[in-house]
Chain A
Amino acid sequence: MNSAQIEIQLIASLVAIACAIPGTFLVLRKMAMISDAISHAILPGIVIGFFVTQDLNSPVLILLAALTGIITVVLVEYIQKTGLVKEDTAIGLVFPALFSIGVILIAKNANDVHLDVDAVLLGELAFAPFDRLLIGGTDVGPKSLWVIGSILLVTISLLILFFKELKVSTFDTGLSASLGFSPAIIHYGLMSVSSVTTVGAFDAVGAILVVALMIAPAASAYLLTTDLKKMLALAISFGVFSAVFGYWVAHWLDASIAGSITTMLGIVFLLVYLFAPSKGIIAVIYRERQQRTEVSLLTFLLHLKNHEELEERHVNHLYEHINWQKVRARSVLDLAQKNNMILIEKNIVSLTKKGNEFTSKAIDYIITNEDSQIEDMKDDFFLFRG
């Protein structure tokens, strides 16, 4: 590993951290698509800023472009407030228009602007180490490292200072307003941080991939925990892992670093999405199946309780009467037997004492409209789950 490689990985990791922090809050506040809008809409700001400063890493340019991001948010909110279109339509209308202006500005001034459209989408992480920051003639590292480093520093200090406010206003806007934290200030503060981060990361990873760095780690983390601090920590580690690992994949494939980092993020999300312990797709499907069998079991027990007649309780009759397929009926019957809820004598099914007690309690809950209590009750009665 040479120093340029280390620097690239360092920049990528810092970008990932800087994106994951506001990203977590955007995901929690259901505003993930705003980051998409901002990342596109800052393009005209960057181009105009470039005309003024002629330097992609100048702080003036970053502020100018971030301002465009905030203008986008205001514009989207204004259109939403008019009620002419639904809120997501407002987002979808504003950013393509601004992005188009940016693309046209670049195309019209292709000779004056050292910016091309590919760089806009992908960033130029590979070249980042070549643009050095010189202070008094000494080389102190790549410029983008300093840019993203300072943005990250500001983000982290804001996060620590306003963690409580952010947390309250994210989960309970009404409470935070009544406690005296203005939701508007926190909202626009978050938007400003997102804009500035997007602009800072833009140089490294491009307009669209910055969205991936904001949303994907946070979404993966959200599937694993419901604790805000843990979610932030997980999101940051997913981001950094993908940044470093993605760099080496790109190195090996000789392809775009940003594209490879995003692909890594996608793979991380896919794995979490499939295998997350309680919220992953496999766990969810397994639980749904379990619940379906258990609901069938309950229906079956209720049926038994309602009928004293022998012919209603005959095994074969149950197949017809409750209208289940054989396989399904067998699994329900097995489950009931395993849990000592029923007794089968000469093909006649009857409730045991335990089964009777369970069913009576379940009826009570259903009558009093407290169906959710049944779920807790199952823990007391079931030896085996469906």
Chain B
Amino acid sequence: MDISKYIELVFTDYTLRTITLGTAILGAITGMLGSFAVLRKQSLLGDAISHAALPGIAIAFLITGAKDTNTLLVGALVSGLIGTFWIKSIVTKTHLKSDTALGLILSVFFGFGMLLLTFIQKQPNANQAGLDKYLFGQAATLVESDVWMMAIVTGLCLIVMLTFWKEFKLLLFDADYTKTLGFNTKFIDILITVFIVLAIVLGLQTVGVVLMSAMLLAPAAAARQWTNSLAKMVFLAAIFGAFSGVFGTAISSTQNNLSTGPVIVLVASVFVAFSFIFSPSRGLLFKQIRVLKNRRDLELHKTLAFMYHIAETHDNISHPHKIKLLNNFQGYTKSTLQKLVDKNYVERNGSMWNLTQIGFETAANLYTKQETEDE
């Protein structure tokens, strides 16, 4: 299938349109809230919450006996919140560290959820099939009302975020200062946490409990590489998340046997890898290039200094010397010599070189004055 045909299909086909829109909105909201999770060093909290939501889904089903998405998600929300606050209480009240608390709640809640799910499957009730879609998510089961639900929550979240933007930002970067200013940090903290849990719960149907944490982390981690401003980061993360959703849906819908969740996660991971490597200020590629450039500059300086010390001993600074002389000096290569010639610091005649007046002065001042521009 070619691309233009696919795009046409996205606008005409009900299912594809719903799924694309749903995953895009989901990506945007998780990206947005994920930025806060990442900056608050709570990256793995998302992982724990999404796993902790599973027993809630099962219990909601056991109580109501209905498979209505919203009811199940309310169950997920409640058990996700219980998990979150239990983690917080373990970390604050005992000497167990946050990683232990996270791993413990994550696995125990998930195991309990699996116990309930397998228990439900054995029940003589025709209604129970399809609960396991919450494990890996099935974007194909999204219907228009689900997308509306996501859109409403996203809107709500946007309003709250804009209203409390200043408070969120303050809490993020200087919690103590926020407290001294008289803000109710506990309230703000709970507000952020509740919204993060909400975003995770929304994604369960599409991406599933196992992979949901990546939706929260990946767009935010990618966005972080491109900017140092919170507003820009949140915005970028939302865009990365939305695009991961759209591309992931596109790729998985054109192939058989590809669940949407894992594909979306992989697309988001590609965004992360790309950002890690190619971001201009923090990226690994440019960092490496800067390192190499600095090393070359340093070698150039060393060569020049070495030449200067030779030239110093002669009355005429431009007295020619053999190139061979440079061979027992480590920093010397043909290209560095050529560079010095290009900069007019050195003149070269056959196998001889001599410093120019400019070269001599630069070398003399090399370590006494700070050269502002890179040589």
Contact = CB atoms under 8 A, between A and B. Distances in A.
Interface of A: 27, 30-33, 35-36, 40, 79, 82, 84-86, 88-89, 91-93, 96-97, 99-101, 103-104, 107-108, 110, 117-118, 121-122, 208-209, 211-212, 214-216, 218-219, 222-223, 250, 253-256, 258-263, 265-266, 269, 273, 279-281, 284-285
B139 interface: no
A284 B107 contact: no
Interface in B313-368: none
A107 B94 CA distance: 42
B217 interface: yes
B266 A97 contact: yes
B107 A92 contact: no
Given A93-B214, A104-B263, A211 B107 contact: yes
A208 B93 contact: no
A78 B90 CA distance: 30
A88 B266 contact: no
Task: Decide if the interface of chain A is mainly helix, strand, loop or mixed.
Answer: helix
A96 B106 contact: no
B334 to A, nearest CB: 34
B89 A255 contact: no
A258 B266 CA distance: 29
Contact of B100 (A32, A118, A258): A32
24 contacts: A32-B100, A32-B102, A40-B210, A82-B284, A85-B43, A86-B38, A91-B44, A93-B218, A93-B221, A104-B258, A108-B257, A209-B107, A223-B94, A255-B119, A255-B122, A258-B114, A259-B111, A259-B115, A260-B111, A262-B111, A262-B115, A263-B112, A269-B108, A273-B94
Given A104-B266, A110-B257, A92 B214 contact: yes
A103 B207 CA distance: 12
Nearest to A259: B115
A259 B107 contact: no
Contacts of A86: 38, 41, 43
Contacts of A35: 103
A107 B107 contact: no
B96 A253 contact: no
Q: Which residue, B106, B111, B262, has most C-beta atoms of chain A within 10 A?
A: B111
Given A110-B257, A253-B115, A255-B119, A215 B107 contact: yes
Q: What class of interface size applies to chain B in its complex with A?
A: 35 or more
Nearest to B96: A219
Contacts of B272: 93
B265 interface: yes
B97 A30 contact: yes
Contacts of B100: 27, 30, 32, 215, 218-219, 222
A292 to B, nearest CB: 15
Given A216-B108, A281-B89, A121 B94 contact: no
A281 B276 contact: no
Task: Decide if the interface of chain B is mainly helix, strand, loop or mixed.
Answer: helix
A36 B104 contact: no
Nearest to B132: A118
Contacts of A266: 108-109, 111-112
Interface in B54-101: 89-90, 93-97, 99-101
Given A31-B99, A88-B44, A92-B46, A208 B266 contact: no
Interface of B: 38, 41-44, 46-47, 51, 89-90, 93-97, 99-104, 106-119, 122, 132, 135-136, 210-211, 213-214, 217-218, 221, 224-225, 257-259, 261-263, 265-266, 269, 272, 276, 282, 284
A33 B44 contact: yes
A96 B214 contact: yes
B111 A209 contact: yes
B276 to A, nearest CB: 6
Contacts of A31: 99
B276 A84 contact: yes
Contacts of B113: 259
A265 B111 contact: yes
Contacts of A99: 210-211, 262
B114 A33 contact: no
A253 B119 contact: yes
Contacts of B269: 93, 96-97, 100
A92 B210 CA distance: 12
A135 B221 CA distance: 52
A212 B54 CA distance: 15
Contacts of B211: 96, 99-100
A36 B284 contact: no
A107 B97 CA distance: 37
Given A85-B38, A92-B217, A216-B107, A100 B263 contact: yes
Q: Which residue, A84, A101, A262, A273, has most C-beta atoms of chain B within 10 A?
A: A84
B51 to A, nearest CB: 7
Nearest to A109: B257
Contacts of A101: 262, 266
A281 B110 contact: no
Contacts of A40: 210
B263 to A, nearest CB: 7
Given A93-B272, A121-B210, A107 B106 contact: no
A103 B262 CA distance: 7
A225 B100 CA distance: 16
Given A84-B284, A96-B213, 8 more contacts: A82-B284, A85-B38, A103-B136, A121-B135, A209-B111, A212-B111, A216-B108, A253-B119
B118 A255 contact: yes
Contacts of B108: 212, 216, 262-263, 265-266, 269
B288 to A, nearest CB: 11
A234 to B, nearest CB: 14
Contacts of A273: 90, 94
A85 B259 CA distance: 29
